[in-house]
Chain A
Amino acid sequence: MIKQRACAGTLESSDIYVEIAPAEEGSGLALDITSVVFAQFGEDIERVIRETLKELDVTDASVRVSDRGAVDCTIRARVETAVCRAKGEK
């Protein structure tokens, strides 16, 4: 359960900045993705973010990310960190 707004990651090269905020129950996931490689990998980035949120049982949230060319394991790490912080599990 997302309790509070939280963020993780940086805007450095190969990293991704993730910001997550609570949303009304049943409203689903609202994703806003910007990336330096959006044309080539936008769909992959979205898929990795959605998979990670699903694994973490996040069904309703507003998620904004700014990607600087992060690989999958970095995207997963930053999303997980942001979710843990938003759940108050830091």
Chain B
Amino acid sequence: MRRSMLFLPGNSPNILLNANYLGSDSIILDLEDAVAPTEKDSARILVRNAIQSLGYTKEIIVRINPIDSPYWEKDLQTIVPIKPDMIMPTKVSGAEDIRTIAAYITKLEEELGLEVGRIKLIPLIETALGVERAFEIASADPRVTCIFLGGEDFTADMRCVRTKPGNEIFYARSRMVVAARAAGVEVMDTPWTDVEDYEGLIEDAKLAKSLGFSGKASISPRHIPFINEVFSPTEAEIQYAKDVMETIEKAKAEGKGVVSLRGKMIDAPIVNRARQVLEAAEAIKGGR
């Protein structure tokens, strides 16, 4: 269950200590933008030690530096041995980027005697080219289980201004969701960057959910409860899903082909949706 994922700077011991208790479903330990070039070495070692020693129970994602930087291989050499749940490659613009990174992780896993393929990828797509190639990125390698839109860099690449209504990223959002669902992977929405504007955040999260996003990233722990709430099924949705499943089971037992609930025909998409709602509710109850 990944409704929310929280960015935390990789070179701040105080923040890494509290990472597990900030309420997000996933934690992104950042080696990229939140770390100055002169501290890349320091952050890698600190993040490695924190994951090894602090007993995180949340999903751990490590954001690495882009493949056109001099840092990404060293990032992977340091982080792969401690087997984070996921690696987040950045500024991904095509399937080839993913294949390069996946092949390098495989090489490290083989050298270290680790299970090959266990570490998953969540590519950060934040360029016009990346959005245009979202489907090929999402289906480039079995390690890719989710894709993630970075709105700030994307709008900079598009030479437009990032606004609160988000009209300028509407196409990118829609395209990312379609690409992800077509490839059979999850998709996470860009963070809301105004830390104090909770109403705006809630509206933005609701919009993302309505488009089909699985969840939303955040740069502030204070945003997490709101994001979790928006991306959790409501009591009414859970009850309806239970009723759908009961109706279907009853119909099967009675040998009926077509059934209806509250005056509406229950067909395969409705059953699938109900199953997803119940799985999500169960995952939230289970804490992961």
Given contacts A15-B14, A70-B13, A71-B13, are A8 and B49 in contact (CB under 8 A)?
Answer: no
Given contacts A73-B52, A73-B53, are A14 and B45 in contact (CB under 8 A)?
Answer: no
For chain A, residues 1 to 25, give those with C-beta under 8 angstroms from any C-beta of chain B: 8-9, 12-15
Report B-chain residues with C-beta under 8 Å of the C-beta of A76.
49
User: Please, how many angstroms separate the alpha-carbon atoms of A60 and B13 in the complex?
Assistant: 28
What 1/0 mask marks residues of chain A from 56 to 90 whose CB sits below 8 Å from any chain B CB?
A: 00000000000000111110111011001100001
User: Please, how many angstroms separate the alpha-carbon atoms of A73 and B47 in the complex?
Assistant: 9
User: Please, how many angstroms separate the alpha-carbon atoms of A76 and B49 in the complex?
Assistant: 8
Q: Is B17 an interface residue (CB 8 A)?
A: yes
Contact assessment for A80 and B14 in the assembled complex, using a CB-CB cutoff below 8 Å? no
Report B-chain residues with C-beta under 8 Å of the C-beta of A78.
42, 46
- Closest beta carbon of chain B to A72's beta carbon, Å: 7
Given contacts A15-B13, A15-B14, are A73 and B41 in contact (CB under 8 A)?
Answer: no
Contact assessment for B13 and A74 in the assembled complex, using a CB-CB cutoff below 8 Å? yes
Interface size class of A (residues with CB under 8 A): 10 to 19
Smallest Cβ-Cβ distance to B49: which chain A residue? A73
Contact of A8 among B17, B42, B50 (CB under 8 A): B42
User: Please, how many angstroms separate the alpha-carbon atoms of A15 and B13 in the complex?
Assistant: 6
For chain B, residues 29 to 53, give those with C-beta under 8 angstroms from any C-beta of chain A: 41-42, 45-46, 48-50, 52-53
Report A-chain residues with C-beta under 8 Å of the C-beta of B45.
77, 80-81, 84
User: Please, how many angstroms separate the alpha-carbon atoms of A9 and B17 in the complex?
Assistant: 15
Given contacts A77-B45, A77-B46, A81-B45, are A72 and B14 in contact (CB under 8 A)?
Answer: no
Contact assessment for A74 and B41 in the assembled complex, using a CB-CB cutoff below 8 Å? no
Report A-chain residues with C-beta under 8 Å of the C-beta of B161.
none
Report A-chain residues with C-beta under 8 Å of the C-beta of B52.
73
Contact assessment for B42 and A72 in the assembled complex, using a CB-CB cutoff below 8 Å? no
Contact assessment for A13 and B41 in the assembled complex, using a CB-CB cutoff below 8 Å? no
Contact assessment for B42 and A12 in the assembled complex, using a CB-CB cutoff below 8 Å? no
Contact assessment for A14 and B17 in the assembled complex, using a CB-CB cutoff below 8 Å? yes
User: Please, how many angstroms separate the alpha-carbon atoms of A85 and B39 in the complex?
Assistant: 11
Report B-chain residues with C-beta under 8 Å of the C-beta of A73.
46, 49-50, 52-54
- Closest beta carbon of chain B to A87's beta carbon, Å: 12
Contact of B41 among A70, A71, A81 (CB under 8 A): A81
* Listed residue (A14, A70, A74) with the most chain B CB atoms within 10 angstroms of its CB: A74
Contact assessment for A81 and B13 in the assembled complex, using a CB-CB cutoff below 8 Å? no
User: Please, how many angstroms separate the alpha-carbon atoms of A79 and B242 in the complex?
Assistant: 55
User: Please, how many angstroms separate the alpha-carbon atoms of A64 and B41 in the complex?
Assistant: 20
Smallest Cβ-Cβ distance to B50: which chain A residue? A73
User: Please, how many angstroms separate the alpha-carbon atoms of A84 and B140 in the complex?
Assistant: 36
Please name 28 pairs of A and B residues whose Cβ atoms are closer than 8 Å in the assembled complex, sorted by A.
A9-B42, A12-B12, A12-B13, A12-B14, A14-B13, A14-B17, A15-B13, A15-B14, A70-B13, A71-B17, A71-B53, A72-B53, A73-B49, A73-B52, A73-B53, A74-B13, A76-B49, A77-B42, A77-B45, A77-B46, A77-B48, A77-B50, A80-B45, A81-B41, A81-B45, A84-B41, A85-B41, A90-B41
A14-B17, A71-B53, A77-B45 given; name 9 further pairs at CB < 8 Å: A12-B13, A12-B14, A74-B13, A77-B46, A77-B50, A80-B45, A81-B42, A84-B45, A85-B41
